[in-house]
Amino acid sequence: MKQLYIIFLAAITCGYTSTGAQELYPAERDGKWGYVNVKDSLVIPAIYDDAKPFSDGLGSVKKGDRYGFVDASGKTVIPFEYDWAYQFSCGIANFRNGTEFGYINRQGNVISRIKFDNAWPASENLAKVKKDKKYGFIDTTGNVAIDMIYDDTWSFSEGFTFVRVGDIYFYINKKGKQIGDHQFDRAWPFQDGFAKVSTNEKFGFINSKGELITEWFDGVTDFFNGYSEVERDKKISIIDTTGKQIIGWFDWLGTLTGGFAKVKRNGKWGYLNAALNVIGEIKFDNVYSFSEGLAKVELDNKFGFIDERGKMVIPAEFDYVSDFEEGVAIFDKNHKKGFINEKGKTVVKAEYEDAHPYSEGYAAVKKNGKFGYIDKSGTVVIQFLYDEAYEFVDGIAHVSIDNEHFYIDTTGKRIKTSYLKQQ
């Protein structure tokens, strides 16, 4: 199913913090690693074989085949005595020596006597660990907080995580207590107060009490700004965080861009606004993005424009139209191009073989096989001399004659090569 609003990325929720005084980032120089600041200037020399992002004021670095930690000045504060070491989170860092994993604190002291088969960064002051093919959690002092009795689990998010026993998933809190009575075939982390769940290949959401708040759907996206896109029988709708469906069903639902989303129903197109209300009618053969408050629409192979209320303000009577730029749009009638304003009034009559949008008050237009330029009144300001002509940018336009490409200014004067090099 298409993800309308957001793609969820798992995050470590203690928050990796940088050095405090300045942000430092791993950087490679000639095959070695060091750290740079936001200006890309080396602060810690590139003398290491690997470097991980700073967190809690320390960076995990590799020298030879061993990892240790340096502070923001580059001083080694935890010796190079680990086969592998990750960055700090919640005040502890996971490491590996041989096939065994453990944790150290910021002083470099090992905090747990248990040697784990695998270990993950801490999240919300609990770290996921694996021992004898079972998963559980330790706290940041190294004590077991939730027994290693599960077949699978995930890092804590918003005070909860899912666990698996056999083929069944359910959710627990930080005390290891199950929330709610529901069990699922699949489960996802909590995000913005809700977790996506699945049973019998259908999808829904639970809240922080473990209560199922929605019906079952063929697909759902994570909640974003209080809404989720849902799918059923190849139709798409939107629900809020109470599980209420707030719009009808559509064949296709686009992303909100510039305050509007394109929608399709029964083979016809229209728009939703930011309040998720249909504007105007869903009756067009095709629709396009809004530009300068107007959107071009296609109806019966003709083009026109609607405004942000969905009102047809320029009738669909043109063979082609461009988006509005600088208050005007190109139109085509009977294979000739001209320009209209936002009221649909012709401001440059349709007499050109081709036309480009206005830029900096000028538009390239083609007549008798050659391009020239007109101003907003339609007056020719640069004669029809060019085989190709493009929009003005910073007072300069790219043109060509007989395969010779060069630049001109707004008077049509050729720009010298030395000037171009300076630009």
Q: Residue range 31-43: average pLDDT?
A: 96
Q: What is the dihedral of CA 342, 345, 346, 347, to 10 degrees?
A: -60
Question: Does 12 or 164 have the greater pLDDT score?
Answer: 164
CA-based R_g, the chain, Å: 31
Which residue from 339, 378, 335 is spatially nearest to 356, judged by alpha carbons?
339
- Cβ pair 94, 120 in contact under 8 A: yes
pLDDT band at 8 (very low <50, low <70, confident <90, very high): very low
pLDDT at position 154 over 60: yes
- Among 316, 327, 352, CA closest to 337: 352
Query: What whole-number distance in Å separates Cα of residue 159 and Cα of residue 124?
Result: 7
Name 352's Cβ contacts closer than 8 Å, sequence gap at least 6: 336, 337, 338, 365, 366, 367
Spatial distance between the Cα atoms of 226 and 77, rounded to a whole number of angstroms: 45
* Cross-strand bridge partners of residue 42: 36
User: Quick check: 7 pLDDT over 80?
Assistant: no
Specify whether the CB–CB gap between 52 and 82 falls below 8 A. Answer: no
pLDDT at 22: 76
The mean per-residue pLDDT over the stretch 150-171 comes to 98
Average pLDDT along the chain: 93
B/e letters for 124-144, b = 16+ CB within 10 Å, e = fewer, are bbbbbbbbeeebbbbbbebee
Short-list 303, 278, 302, 306, CA closest to 292? 306
Residue reference for tokens 């020399």: 45
pLDDT at residue 417, as a whole number: 54
The DSSP call for residue 418 is H
Whole-number Cα distances in Å, 269 to 279, 287, 330, 369: 11, 6, 23, 37
CA dist 307 and 295 (Å) reads 7
Specify the pLDDT at position 17. Answer: 54
Confidence of residue 420 (pLDDT cuts 50, 70, 90): very low
Please state, in angstroms and rounded to a whole number, the distance separating the CA atoms of residues 266 and 268. Answer: 6
Q: Phi then psi for 124, rounded to 5 degrees?
A: 55, 40
Query: Domain coordinates of the chain in residue numbers?
Result: 1-16+88-249
Give the per-residue pLDDT at 21: 57
User: Which pLDDT score is estimated for 347?
Assistant: 97
**CA dist 239 → 3, 236, 266 (Å):** 14, 10, 21
The region of weakest confidence among 7-11, 111-115, 358-362, 382-386 is 7-11
Strand pairing partners for 190?
A: 195
pLDDT score recorded for residue 19: 47
Look at residue 416 in the predicted model and tell me its pLDDT.
78
96: confidence class by pLDDT, cuts 50, 70, 90: very high
pLDDT in tens, 264-309: 999 999 999 999 999 999 999 999 999 999 999 999 999 999 999 9
Q: What is the pLDDT of residues 224-249, one digit of tens each?
A: 989 999 999 999 999 999 999 999 99
Q: Which of 282, 305, 281 is nearest to 294 (CA)?
A: 305
* pLDDT at site 14: 74
Q: What pTM does this model have?
A: 0.78
Structure tokens given for 38 = 């936001």
Say what the pLDDT of residue 16 is: 56
- Asked if 291 and 299 touch (Cβ cutoff 8 Å), the reply is no
H helices then E strands: how many in the chain? 1, 42
Does pLDDT of 13 surpass 80? no
Residues 6+ apart with CB under 8 A from 262: 252, 254, 269, 270, 271, 287
Is residue 66 scored above 50 in pLDDT?
Answer: yes
> What is the rounded distance in angstroms from the CA atom of residue 244 to the CA atom of residue 342?
39
Take residue 56 and report the two structure tokens written for it: 């809690």
d(CA 52, CA 54): 7
Determine the average pLDDT of the residues in 345-358.
97
